[in-house]
Structure 1
Amino acid sequence: MAVLRKCARPLLASVFLSGGLSTLRDPKRVAAAAEPVAVPLGSRIPRLTEDPERLVRINGAVQVGAGVMLATGRLPRAAALALAGSLVPTTLAGHAWWKEEDPERRAAQRTQFIKNLSLLGGLLLAAADTHGKPSVAYRSRTAAKSGVSRSRATAKSGASRGRSAAKAGRHAVRHTRRDATGALSGAVKSLR
């Protein structure tokens, strides 16, 4: 399975690297198409610019950065989520097939829209991939259960140790009492 991941991740990342680099080189080419999505997005998210050209550059940079991370296997789950997040506005802005009047352009845009949905599905699978290791949620539940079991075992062994210590304490008190009684009677005899 490791070989499959090493091949699949770069293949999945390639479309984002290509598209992101293209957008970074010439953001004006796609800024006009991105404007209907970019401006409302920029106005809703604080500290995000409403300038479509800058938003397109940011999106391109995210696609290149996260694409490189996914292709090289560096934080692949986070990279896949970042790419999925960048793909949604790209798809809505660039492939709004429902707005096209020409039947041929409409069919072409619908095909691109569906292709991007397929990429989104692949990215979500990559984001959920745990490399065959248990997920964080599973490990948390297991740790919580074993923590409860360990605390019960610790409490039982602590109680057992406590009983042993109490028994040893009683034994020591008996011996100390006997020794003290013997010493006291010896002292009394020596005084006589």
Structure 2
Amino acid sequence: MSLLRMVGRPMLASMFVAGGLQSLRSPQQVAPAAEPIVRPVTDRVSALPDSTEQLVRLNGAVQVVGGVLLGFGRCPRLAALAVAATLVPTTLAGHRFWEAEDPSERAQQRIHFLKNVSMLGGLLIAADDTGSSPSLLWRGRHAAHGLRHDAHLVHRSVRATARPAATAGGVRAKLGV
């Protein structure tokens, strides 16, 4: 693992571990702000709990687990995607700058909104980072290319040996051997 990954992943994950722990400990502080985002989602997805506080806790738990995994470099791509998925509703619920009346409050919420968008970008980059190893897609394409190449070589080899064998068989048949 490179030094940048070893330092950068825990730095990126730290905000989610801290925020997730806060949501786990006291979801009642966040639940009122999350309500406008939670209601439409729970109405459409029956598998989710109806309580806003439970969803805030679930969101916090995913952030803590994903942040810890990302910070330690365990399943970092999956962890980054999981944390990114939690960041979208968190941002939409917590930093609705377009609804703020006070100009200074609006400016503060816009800054936090853009900070979260920036963190989302970092998480997406982390989710795409293969750690200098080839991605599964590249490995699959490379293996398919190798198989096509090998099949082509086998085909040429069979054609190259089949013609002389057929000729030799024809000569043997004419000679009666």
TM-score after normalising by structure 1: 0.83
Greater relative CO (CA pairs within 8 A, separation 6+):
2
TM-score after normalising by structure 2: 0.90
SS of the counterpart of 1:131? coil
Where does residue 28 of structure 1 map in the other structure? 28
Deviates more, 1:48-57 or 1:78-87: 48-57
Per-residue CA deviations over 1:101-149 (Å, capped at 9, x if unaligned) read: 1222211111111110110010011011111223333332222222222
Alignment of 1:26-175 (within 5 A): 26-163=26-163, 165-166=165-166
Give the Cα–Cα distance (whole angstroms) in 1 for the partners of residues 53 and 167 of structure 2.
Answer: 81
- Percent identity among equivalent residues? 50
Contact 1:43 1:49 in 2 (8 A): no
Give the Cα–Cα distance (whole angstroms) in 2 for the partners of residues 165 and 47 of structure 1.
Answer: 67
Deviates more, 1:162-171 or 1:85-94: 162-171
Shift of 1:161: 3.9
- CA RMSD of superposed structures (Å): 2.0
Where does residue 18 of structure 1 map in the other structure? 18
Give the Cα–Cα distance (whole angstroms) in 1 for the partners of residues 167 and 115 of structure 2.
Answer: 76
Contact 1:41 1:50 in 2 (8 A): no
Contact 1:20 1:61 in 2 (8 A): yes
- Give 5+ residue unaligned stretches, structure 2: none
Give the Cα–Cα distance (whole angstroms) in 1 for the partners of residues 70 and 167 of structure 2.
Answer: 63
Shift of 1:95: 0.7
Per-residue CA deviations over 1:28-75 (Å, capped at 9, x if unaligned) read: 110111000011112222311232111101100000010011001111
SS of the counterpart of 1:133? coil
Shift of 1:173: 6.8
Per-residue CA deviations over 1:136-183 (Å, capped at 9, x if unaligned) read: 3333222222222211111112233444654675687789x55xxxxx
> Which AA in structure 2 matches 1:82?
A
Deviates more, 1:146-155 or 1:108-117: 146-155
Give the Cα–Cα distance (whole angstroms) in 2 for the partners of residues 165 and 120 of structure 1.
Answer: 65
Deviates more, 1:158-167 or 1:37-46: 158-167
Deviates more, 1:120-129 or 1:138-147: 138-147
SS of the counterpart of 1:47? coil
Give the Cα–Cα distance (whole angstroms) in 2 for the partners of residues 113 and 170 of structure 1.
Answer: 82
- Give 5+ residue unaligned stretches, structure 1: 179-192
